[in-house]
Amino acid sequence: MNKLDSSLVTAALAERGFVLTDKATEADAVLINTCSVREHAEDRVLSHLGHLRHLKKTQPQLVVAVIGCMAQRMGETLLAHEAVDVVAGPGQLHEVPELIDKAMADHQKRMHVLDNIRQPAASEAIRDISERLDAFELAYDSDANHIKSQAFIRAMRGCNNFCSYCIVPYVRGPEVSRAPQAIVEQAKKLAGEGIRQITLLGQTINAYRYTAGDRTYTLADLLEQVSAIDAVRWVRFITSHPGQFDPSILQVMADLPKVCPYLHIPAQSGSDRILRAMNRGYTAEGYIELIEKARATVPELALAGDFIVGFPGETDEDYEATAALIRRVRYKNCFVFKYSPRPGTHAEKKLADDVPAEVKQERNAKLLEIISEIADQDNQTFLGRTLEVLVEGPSKKPHLNKAENEDNPQLVGRTKHDYIVVFNGPESLTGQFVKVRVTKTAALTLFAELVA
Ligand code: SF4
C-alpha cells in the first residue's frame, strides 16, 4: 500500500515538473513516506530526519516532507522536528505537491492530517481523496525508466477490524471501497498502456463492498470485471483477512484462468487464546478449514502468511500451536514479525509486552527455519517443470551463475502462483510472459532456464 502511495505521489509531483533523484544533496525536496506498523520502521524515519537536519545546514532551501501513517499518528511532534517542513497523513497525499510548492516558496511549516479519522465525515473525505490521488497511477516506471508490465490499483482504503496490536485503523481510517467502475476504467487505461498484470490492493481486500442502487459489488465481482479486460493477463489481490472470507472469491479464482491462484492470508498465530487476545475473529481450526476449502476449490493454490511472535502473554505452548499450524498449512512463504507495542492500540494500552526480547528473537528464528524447510521441500516438486513467468527485469542480486553478460543477464520473474524464478535471458524480455524450465530449487527461489 505504501509503495503504491509513493508512486502516486511521485506521479503527482512529476506532473508539476519535478524529477526524481536518488541523491538528497541534489534535491529541492525530500519526501519520506512512512509506515507505523512497527516501531523499527518509525525509528528509521527519525534517524533519516536526523541526517536531513544536518544536510539542511548546508542546503537551507531543502524542503523535507514526512507523509503517510507516521505523519497521521505523530502530527505535531514531527512538525516540531527541526528538519521537517511538511507533514501530511495518508488521507492528505493528494495535497502533497501543493504543500511542497508552498513550502519551497515561503519555508513555512505546514501540517495536513485528518481529524477524527474514524468519523463518517472522514470516510467521505477519504473517498473523495482516493479518487483524486488514485487516478494518477501510471504505466511508466520512472525508477526503471520503462513502461511497467504490472500495476497496483487500490480497491479500498482503511480497515474496520481493530486487531488489538494494529495501528492501521487509527492512521488509515475506516474501510472505504472505490467504485468498481473507477477501478475497471483505471485497469483498462493501464492495460492500454501496456500493463499485463493488475494487483488489486486493500488492507482487507476480501471486505471490498460497494453499493450502487440496489446492487452491492464484492471482490468476486471486481475480479470478474477486471479479468474481462482483454489485454490484462493476470489479476491478483492482496491482502485477505481470514475472517468472513466469502467462498465466491474462491469460486472466481477457480473459474477464471486470469485470476492468479495465490492467497496472502495472514493467520498471525496458531493459538486460539492468542487469536482471541489479538481480536482476529477466528480460531486456528476455523482458519485451517478455510485453507482446506480454498485448496479443494482452487487447483495448485499457493499460500503466503504473516505471523507475529511474542504477542503479550504468548507461552511456549502458544508458540508451538503456531508452529503446528504452519506445518499443517505448508505456506509458500511467510513473513514473521516480532511483536512491538504500537501507541494507542488496545494491546499497547491493556496488555503487558511481557515476552522477553531474546524469546521473541528465538521464536522468530525458529519459525523462519520451519517455514524455509517446508518451502525447500515443496519447491522441489517444481524441478524439471516448465512454468510461465512474467519477467520483472534484471535480477538485483544475480546468484544463478556468473555467466551473465550484457546480452544474457540474470532476470527475475514471477509465476502465476507468485513463485520467484531467476534465469538468464535478454533484458528485452522485461514485461513479457515467457516459458522457463526449472533446473534447481531453493526455499525462496526457483532457478530455471529459458525455453525457446
Ligand atoms: S485486519 Fe487487523 S492487522 Fe490487518 S490492517 Fe486491519 S486491524 Fe490491521
Task: Tell me if 240 CB under 6 Å of ligand 1.
Answer: no
Q: Which long-range contacts (CB under 8 A, 24 or more apart) does 48-51 make?
A: 49/81, 49/83, 49/84, 50/83, 51/24
Among 385, 267, 384, 393, which Cα is nearest to 327's?
A: 267
pLDDT tens column, 261-306: 999 999 999 999 999 999 999 999 999 999 999 999 999 999 999 9
User: In this structure, which residue's CA is closest to atom 1 in ligand 1?
Assistant: 161
Given a cut of 80, is residue 226 above it in pLDDT?
yes
What pLDDT band is residue 117 in, cutting at 50, 70 and 90?
confident
C-beta separation of 370 from 437 below 8 A: no
pLDDT of residue 317: 98
Which of 10-24, 246-260, 354-368 has the lowest average pLDDT?
Answer: 10-24
What is the pTM for the complete model shown? Answer: 0.91
In order of their start, the domains of the chain are: 2-113 (3.40.50.12160), 121-381 (3.80.30.20), 383-450 (2.40.50)
What pLDDT band is residue 91 in, cutting at 50, 70 and 90?
confident
pLDDT of residue 400: 45
Please tell me the distance between residue 163's alpha carbon and the centre of ligand 1 in angstroms. Answer: 6
Please state, in angstroms and rounded to a whole number, the distance separating the CA atoms of residues 307 and 366.
Answer: 12
Among 160, 163, 152, 92, which Cα is nearest to 128's?
A: 92
User: Residue 359 has which C-alpha cell?
Assistant: 524469546
Task: Tell me if 269 CB under 6 Å of ligand 1.
Answer: no
Please state, in angstroms and rounded to a whole number, the distance separating the CA atoms of residues 332 and 67.
Answer: 33
Residue 304 falls in which region: left (phi positive, over 0), alpha (psi -120 to 50) or beta: beta
Task: Tell me if 169 CB under 6 Å of ligand 1.
Answer: yes
Which atom of ligand 1 is found nearest the CA of 280? Answer: 2
Among 432, 423, 21, 425, which Cα is nearest to 196's?
A: 432
Which atom of ligand 1 is found nearest the CA of 169? Answer: 7
pLDDT of residue 123: 72
- List, in order, residues 6 or more apart from 214 with CB less than 8 Å away: none
Residues 323-350, mean pLDDT to the nearest whole number: 97
